[in-house]
Chain A
């Protein structure tokens, strides 16, 4: 591992993030966690719904972060995996009457397989070529979803309406609140698993590949296996996020999973900081709330305002929220010294 870190060349598409810098300290984690647990008790259902979406997109951004920040592969096709997850959950719930919670592992597994398979041809591609291949996947997905042959299952162009689950065991909470805590539990579980994955042998292999593929293979890392594995894991997590998204929105349709979604997730990753897992939630907040802010400033020019805000962010902090965190840490360090 240390050997791999030393031979970092300028040519690496994604800069190296040391693995310790990929997470938050315990204190900060607990504060964030407490905020996530307590806030819903004091806000309207609509805000709870927004927070649920925040977590869901956060998961999807996290998945992309594992792929790009972890293994150095770039994907503009995450919306395709998200769509497959969403449709898997929706179809299982509405056609097979399966419990919503059980559909999520299925969605995750199917997407893992799908991502793993897609990772095979992607092995031969890198940089812009991989970007195009994944971009192609994202463009193709809505068209596949509305294909006449699958219409019986997918509802074709009309999509599928999904029933929202009630809180179980007669818990006295609204559907929204229950779904939020359900999502929160899953998000925390996946976050912890992801952190551990990146700290494990596999995670070190991912990062070795990210930093220098040839050096990694010279050290005996099975590059092909780990690259496809990264794709699979990323797709699997995105699939779970998609399934949760379908349940929260109560509707799946091809128009919900266009390339725009893939681009949003990508922006979320950049704003949150590539390779910094906690940044995923910041990135997710950016893609959910900044369009609303932009629209509040000007309806006619909402796109332009959004673009300007995005430029501001990347000018001020080209490395995303991670940079903010680092600066904050340094400040706190200085204060302590004084």
Chain B
């Protein structure tokens, strides 16, 4: 029983990583209606930028703010330069563009900062949180930041004009244009916000998994899974999905005899696919209505 409780706690701690990333995934999905495979790499690059700033002597929170601002601008720039010209191209061509972006960012980061792992600081310290050694103050801080982001996103999408316009632009671009929304800039804004959220995710994740060019490879798979499980249209669902995947995975690895440990990712993914078969829009997503 103690092991069970421990694994659930450890799952929540790891799940916070996935939840953070899943939020960024949902953000971009809201803006462009599909997934961006380069999202993890963009977050990794931002994290390296913040690390570099700190190496140059900028204090943590200063670097944090600068990095978020940089990422927002970079996100918009990437959209304007690389993906706006592809707006009329088929979706699958856009996906190929994400893969190209992935390759470019990963390779450039490796060249600038090498592939050796780097320690990344945390503003929250890493002592046990509330006496539990399973969750450190950093992980608690990360959960706090994730929840804060979630609330902000919720308010943004629900109550601000820009947020509503963005949702409209993504789900029904033509009707949105008819009511006077500049859909093209909404997409760019979505890229900027997704990049900014991604950079926060990266800076929260790096102290746990260490900073290196390939740090997001695994995280992104889990982030996608979490976002899809929770429902790509729901930031709340994405966060819950993140924690569920973290817990799922630990319990599968601990309690399914024989193959559980070796196959914990496949089993977790199989469970997610099963959930999707029952609820095709994810746990908290809006159901998809098909029309002729």
Contacts and interface: CB of A to CB of B under 8 A. Distances in A.
A337 interface: no
A270 B224 CA distance: 22
Given A129-B280, A270-B95, A307 B266 contact: no
A271 B90 CA distance: 12
Interface stretch (A7-15, A33-41, A109-117, A182-190): A7-15
Contacts of A132: 224-225, 228, 272-273, 276
Interface string B78-119: 000010011011111101110111111011101100000000
Contacts of A225: none
A319 B88 CA distance: 11
B234 to A, nearest CB: 14
A46 interface: no
Interface in A20-65: none
Interface in B121-163: none
B269 A315 contact: no
B263 interface: yes
Contact of A124 (B221, B228, B276, B291): B276
Contacts of A148: 262
Contact of A15 (B90, B108, B110, B288): B90
A149 B259 contact: yes
Contacts, number: 148
Nearest to B258: A149
A140 B225 contact: no
Contact of B99 (A263, A300, A308): A263
A144 interface: yes
A15 B89 CA distance: 10
Interface string B231-261: 0100000000000000000000000001100
A139 B100 contact: no
A213 B89 CA distance: 22
A262 B87 CA distance: 25
Contacts of A147: 259, 262-263
Interface string A268-304: 0111001000000000000000000000000011111
Nearest to A15: B90
Provide the main secondary structure of the chain A interface.
Answer: helix
A318 interface: yes
A208 to B, nearest CB: 13
A271 B96 CA distance: 9
B93 A319 contact: yes
A136 interface: yes
Contacts of B270: 136, 140
B277 interface: yes
Contact of A308 (B35, B85, B104, B258): B104
Given A133-B273, A266-B96, A306-B103, A315 B265 contact: no
A244 B99 CA distance: 27
Contact of A314 (B96, B108, B288, B292): B96
A212 interface: yes
Contacts of B228: 128-129, 132
Given A214-B290, A307-B103, A310-B96, A315 B108 contact: no
Contacts of B272: 132, 136
A223 B73 CA distance: 45
Given A129-B228, A147-B263, A310-B100, A304 B107 contact: yes
Given A7-B292, A128-B232, A307-B103, A140 B269 contact: yes
A129 B97 contact: no
A314 B85 CA distance: 10
Interface string A135-168: 1100110011011110000000000000000000
Interface string B267-279: 0011011101100
B280 to A, nearest CB: 6
Interface in A216-262: 218
Interface in A52-80: 68, 74
A9 B274 CA distance: 30
A136 B292 contact: no
A197 interface: no
Given A128-B35, A311-B82, A303 B262 contact: no
Nearest to B262: A147
Contacts of B263: 140, 143-144, 147
Contacts of B29: 128
Contacts of B89: 314, 318-319
9 contacts: A14-B90, A127-B34, A129-B276, A131-B35, A136-B272, A149-B258, A302-B107, A318-B86, A318-B90
Interface of B: 29, 34-35, 82, 85-86, 88-93, 95-97, 99-104, 106-108, 110-111, 221, 224-225, 228, 232, 258-259, 262-263, 265-266, 269-270, 272-274, 276-277, 280, 288, 290-292
Given A125-B280, A133-B276, A271-B96, 5 more contacts: A129-B280, A147-B259, A300-B110, A301-B108, A311-B82
Name the 6 nearest CB pairs between A and B, nearest first.
A303-B107, A318-B89, A140-B266, A307-B104, A136-B269, A307-B103
